[in-house]
Amino acid sequence: MCYAYRTLILVQESELSQTSFREQITGLIQLTRWTEHVPFVIPLTLLGALLADAASGAPLDWRIIPVTLANILTVAYAFMINDIEDAPDDARDPARAARNPICTGRIPASFGYAACRLIALVTLALYLLGGTWVFIIGVATLLLSHLYSWRPVRLKAWPVTDILSHSLMLSGLLLLAGYFLYDAAPGVVWFVALGATLVSVYGQLYNQLRDFDMDKAAGLHNTAIMLGERNTRLAMYLAIALAAVCILVAILQGLFPVWLAVVFALAVVVSLFFRQKTDMRGGTAVDRSGLMQLQALIALNLTMAAWLAVTLVQQWTAV
């Protein structure tokens, strides 16, 4: 940690008592970066639960709410610990420093760590409400979220482990938490979980490609740096292609209701009205797929919302 950054931390901690409670909370909310993950955490959790409902016939109940909230808090924890641990590196780049409240001095690192500990406790309590399997999946997700960025381990700094940990904690395990809430025998649903995980693999490779120069300057040895920019781009597209194959297998096995295809097609049409010139994080897109990230999330959320609404109506009318 550079001298300037250590000085910044000391100044932040000495001025914490002079910072208003509202400013601290605002900085803490910024640290969660909730706008970047809530749009995919909720539909992934619902996807798992709805697949379980279709497979087992177990009706959705109130437990989907605390488990969804637990997934959101787990991913928030991952983003928080990442920005706290990466603050010395982010301080080197004005754009990344501006979005990191630790670098800007809105909150000190010690306050961020304390918030992370509290969030972890609340998250584990919420996962407990989902039962044994959901709690085990939640613990695994939370542990990966911590080890991914925590400097003594820092899974994100090493090839392969960076991709595996990222894709599991931000996709596959979130879906499985929703599924195991109502059924403990995924069967062919493993293909959906694998497909979602592969989409997250694409996302991590995309992020590494976007941050390639910065990560290289920081001394990281992640997958993108090992592969090189050209091969990383190819790996991104391969991950998306394999994800499409997994979802196709699930469709052919009848995991999704037929009418959902019409809803998805309409959702895609609606998503086309939302065009942007940046990727989901507001940065310059490294390729055309970056410009389609928002559209893909809109289509996914609309489709899951329709499936959830129909499922709930069917449950209520069957009572």
What pLDDT band is residue 22 in, cutting at 50, 70 and 90? confident
Between 308 and 157, where is the model more confident?
A: 308
Q: Residue 212 above 90 pLDDT?
A: no
Rounded to whole angstroms, the Cα distance separating 125 from 119 reads 10
Rounded average pLDDT over 129-155? 96
Of 83-97, 106-120, 215-229, where does the model show the most confidence?
A: 106-120
Question: Given this model, what pLDDT does residue 23 score?
Answer: 82
The pLDDT of residue 1 is above 50 = no
Residue 92 confidence (pLDDT): 80
- Of 296, 268, 293, 299, which is closest to residue 278 (Cα–Cα)? 293
pLDDT band at 319 (very low <50, low <70, confident <90, very high): low
The DSSP bridge partners found for residue 175 are: none
Q: Report the mean per-residue pLDDT for the chain.
A: 90
The residues, any chain, with a CB within 8 Å of residue 274's CB and separated by 6 or more, are 294, 295, 298
Residue spans of beta strands (DSSP E) within the chain:
none
The tokens describing 243, both together, are: 């994800």
Q: Between residues 51 and 215, which one has the greater pLDDT?
A: 51
Going by pLDDT thresholds of 50, 70 and 90, the confidence category of residue 11 is very low
